[in-house]
Amino acid sequence: EKIEQEDKAVVTGEVVEEELDDDERSFEELGLEARLVRALSKKSIEKPTPIQRVAIPLILEGKDVVARAKTGSGKTLAYLLPVLQKLFADSPSKSNLAPAVFILVPTRELCQQVYSEVTSLIEQCRVQLKVVQLRSTMSASDLKTSLAGLPDIVVSTPACVHTCLKNGILQAKALQESLSVLVLDEADLLLSYGYEDDIKALTAYVPKRCQCLLMSATSSADVEKLKKLILHNPYILTLPEVG
Ligand code: ADP
Ligand code: MG
């Protein structure tokens, strides 16, 4: 899909104007490690998209972010790159009680897509991180096996995580103690596909210190609702032409 490099992002929050006008910043200048930049280069990704340019530094700083930009603007890497970099730094001291990062997506296709993207970046960077995807078609014992290996990153639909919590396959206490980043990808679709109740149930286990990231192609009232439910004083990044 086409990437609109020219688009300027509009940020509401405390971001200074100069940062936004500086359109030439490279991935390194956004604060990403050389190994991640090299991994991107191998995929012929050389220049950040506008949403990546504004989102990556804020996410690296640990801010909650709502990123709204049309489909194809590069929202997946906008959150994956800074989240991976933070995990690279954290992994030796991690308490290893439960997954540190949950990425919630609306469909199994997207789940597979995000999973492949994460695993390929990790492989390129030669970092040992365990990434799993949960599927509603998996048996309880398969789900148990996936989660028992203490994954660093879980990619799943909200319903599947909710089921694991209800069944005790995922320990609520362990989740609360270790969850460091929660991503709601395609947040607009998460709601229109009926995952609102699952997400609401999960918010009970999201600790205050957890960084929450919400990616969306639209800015519907539903997304506003999610934002209020989960995020603490988020930075709102909006690209023009958002539906
Ligand atoms: P969105 O989630 O905003 O719809 P994606 O994250 O799926 O968009 O990205 C769309 C496509 O653009 C993907 O094929 C992705 O690999 C590619 N892409 C992402 N970032 C860049 C970049 N900085 N330069 C070139 N291509 C990119
Ligand atoms: Mg996307």
Q: What is the DSSP letter of 233?
A: S
Tell me, using a 6 A CB cutoff, whether residue 68 lines ligand 1: no
pTM: 0.89
Residue from 65, 77, 110, 188 whose mutation best tests the ligand 1 pocket (most atoms within 8 A of CB) = 77
- Predicted local confidence at residue 12, as pLDDT: 55
Question: Tell me, what's the pLDDT at 6?
Answer: 37
User: What is the C-alpha to C-alpha distance for residues 147 and 132, in angstroms, rounded to an integer?
Assistant: 8
Distance of CA 207 to CAs 78, 80, 202, 211, Å? 23, 21, 10, 9
| Closest-approaching ligand to the CA atom of 27 | 1
Return the structure tokens found at 1.
């899909």
Residues forming a β-bridge with 204: none
Residue nearest atom 21 in ligand 1 by C-alpha distance: 74
User: And the tokens for 146?
Assistant: 């996936």
**Ligand 2 ion: Cβ-proximal residues, 5 Å cutoff:** 75
Measured in Å, residue 187 CA sits from the centre of ligand 2 at 9
Confidence (pLDDT) at 91: 56
Q: Are strands 153-156 and 101-104 parallel, antiparallel or unpaired?
A: parallel
22: Cβ–Cβ under 8 A, 6 or more apart, which residues?
Answer: none
pLDDT of residue 51: 92
Q: Which ligand is nearest to the CA of 56?
A: 1
pLDDT value, residue 16: 39
Tens-digit pLDDT string for the chain (243 aa): 333 333 445 555 544 344 555 568 999 999 999 999 999 999 999 999 999 999 999 999 999 999 999 999 999 999 999 999 999 887 554 555 556 899 999 999 999 999 999 999 999 999 989 999 999 899 999 999 998 866 899 999 999 999 999 999 998 888 888 899 999 999 999 988 999 999 999 988 898 889 999 999 987 777 788 878 787 778 888 876 544
Ligand 1 within 6 A of 74 CB? yes
> Does ligand 1 have an atom closer than 6 angstroms to the CB of 49?
yes
CA 123 to chain centre: 18
Q: Which residues contact 70 (CB under 8 A, 6 or more apart)?
A: 217, 239, 241, 242, 243
**In Å, what is the CA distance from 73 to each residue of 9, 28, 31, 93, 141?**
11, 19, 20, 34, 38
Give the pair of three-digit tokens for residue 181: 């980043």
The values of phi and psi at residue 102, to 5°, are -115, 130
Q: How many CB atoms lie within 10 A of CB 215?
A: 27
Query: What's the confidence (pLDDT) of residue 219?
Result: 76
**Partners of 181 in beta bridges:** 101, 211
